[in-house]
């Protein structure tokens, strides 16, 4: 298990702290997608109230939605997302290969800045199962903040499901407490290396599913529901834990949020569990444009 303070509510043996944390977590937890929405008048100049609402929601649910009532000029669209995050104090962008020079990824068919990623699922119209972003990064240098901004939604499909990973932890710990310890082991989940032209472009990445941020003590989750390009530790305890986790992801929950970002809407999150349905646009029309920014630092 990664180095975890015994006083943490996420330590498998600290039952008292866990139950106190769980009670506070579930108290007045939002029940509808509308409860997560913060209207923003000017994304380039957030008010104190708007900032407080976004931060408070993310502290409670690990996510918040924002809506901009008046569409911005087209030239300003892609700058909205980094402008909002900068005002929230989140700046350490993940300049991955699929992103442009500004660190933003255009999650549209053909939107990858790196041509070899064109067939990767985020840049296609295919569905994406439950995952958190950046699970292939080193486990001690993870994506802690995931944010989105929709310039234009798809004509058909493209809905997302969002589930607070802390609620997934609660459900798993309540139903299968022994599995928590297994999924906190440093060698439980491995992403095989990626090769290009016979060379290793990204080395193998090994790490836990659940870990705790060493500075702020918040729970982090590293997960993908993929069955390829992933290797689980080959033992009975891991097989049981992964099966249990995937089962709760398939089971209904009152705290799972489902919706589709409209133009001028976006997501700010502590890299929660999320999915995306398949989508397509009308032939000859404008295409879906959704910007993504991923950060190594955390929301306040």
pLDDT of residue 74: 62
What is the torsional sign of CA 201, 205, 210, 214?
negative
Average pLDDT, integer, range 214-226:
94
pLDDT at 206 over 90: yes
Average pLDDT, integer, range 29-45:
96
Average pLDDT, integer, range 175-200:
93
Query: Which pLDDT band holds residue 2 (cuts at 50, 70, 90)?
Result: low
pLDDT of residue 298: 95
Average pLDDT score, the chain:
93
Structure-model confidence comparison of residues 119 and 152, the more confident one: 152
Please report, for the chain, the start and end positions of each structural domain, with discontinuous segments joined by +: 15-295
pLDDT at 1 over 60: no
pTM: 0.95
Query: Which pLDDT band holds residue 153 (cuts at 50, 70, 90)?
Result: very high
pLDDT in tens, 48-99: 999 999 999 999 999 999 999 876 666 678 899 999 999 999 999 999 888 8
How far apart CA 88 and CA 80 sit, in angstroms, is 13
What is the number of other CB atoms lying within 10 angstroms of the CB of residue 270? 26
pLDDT in tens, 158-175: 999 999 999 999 999 999
The DSSP bridge partners found for residue 279 are 157
pLDDT in tens, 247-284: 999 987 889 999 999 999 999 999 999 999 999 999 98
- Roughly how many angstroms between the first and final C-alpha of the chain, as a whole number? 26
How far apart CA 71 and CA 67 sit, in angstroms, is 10
Q: Write down the architecture of domain 15-295 according to CATH.
A: 4-Layer Sandwich (3.60)
Helix (H, G, I), strand (E, B) or coil at 196: strand
Q: How many CA atoms lie within 13 A of 290 on its CB side?
A: 26
Q: Residue 228 burial (CB < 10 Å; 0-12/13-18/19+)?
A: exposed
């Amino acid at each position: 298990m990664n180095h975890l303070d015994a006083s943490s509510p996420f330590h498998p043996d600290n039952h008292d702290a866990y139950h106190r944390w769980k009670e506070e977590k579930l108290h007045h937890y939002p029940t509808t997608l509308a409860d997560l929405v913060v209207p923003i008048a000017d994304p380039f100049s957030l008010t104190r109230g708007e900032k407080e609402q976004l931060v408070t929601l993310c502290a409670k649910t690990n996510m918040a939605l924002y809506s901009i009532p008046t569409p911005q000029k087209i030239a300003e669209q892609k700058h909205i997302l980094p402008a909002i995050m900068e005002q929230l104090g989140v700046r350490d962008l993940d300049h991955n290969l699929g992103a442009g020079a500004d660190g933003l990824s255009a999650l549209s068919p053909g939107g990858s800045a790196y041509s070899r990623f064109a067939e990767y699922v985020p840049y296609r119209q295919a569905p994406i199962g439950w995952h958190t972003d950046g699970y292939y990064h080193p486990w001690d240098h993870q994506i802690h903040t995931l944010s989105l901004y929709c310039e234009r939604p798809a004509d058909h499909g493209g809905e997302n499901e969002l589930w607070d990973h802390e609620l997934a932890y609660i459900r798993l710990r309540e139903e299968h407490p022994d599995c928590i310890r297994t999924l906190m082991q440093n060698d439980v989940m491995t992403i095989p290396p990626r090769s290009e032209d016979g060379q290793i472009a990204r080395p193998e990445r090994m790490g836990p599913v659940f870990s705790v941020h060493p500075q702020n003590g918040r729970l982090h989750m590293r997960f993908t529901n993929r069955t390829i390009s992933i290797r689980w530790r080959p033992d009975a305890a891991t097989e049981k834990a992964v099966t249990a986790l995937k089962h709760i992801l398939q089971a209904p929950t009152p705290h799972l949020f489902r919706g589709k970002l409209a133009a001028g809407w976006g997501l700010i999150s502590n890299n929660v569990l999320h999915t995306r349905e398949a989508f397509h646009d009308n032939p000859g029309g404008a295409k879906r444009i959704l910007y993504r920014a991923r950060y190594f630092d955390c929301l306040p």
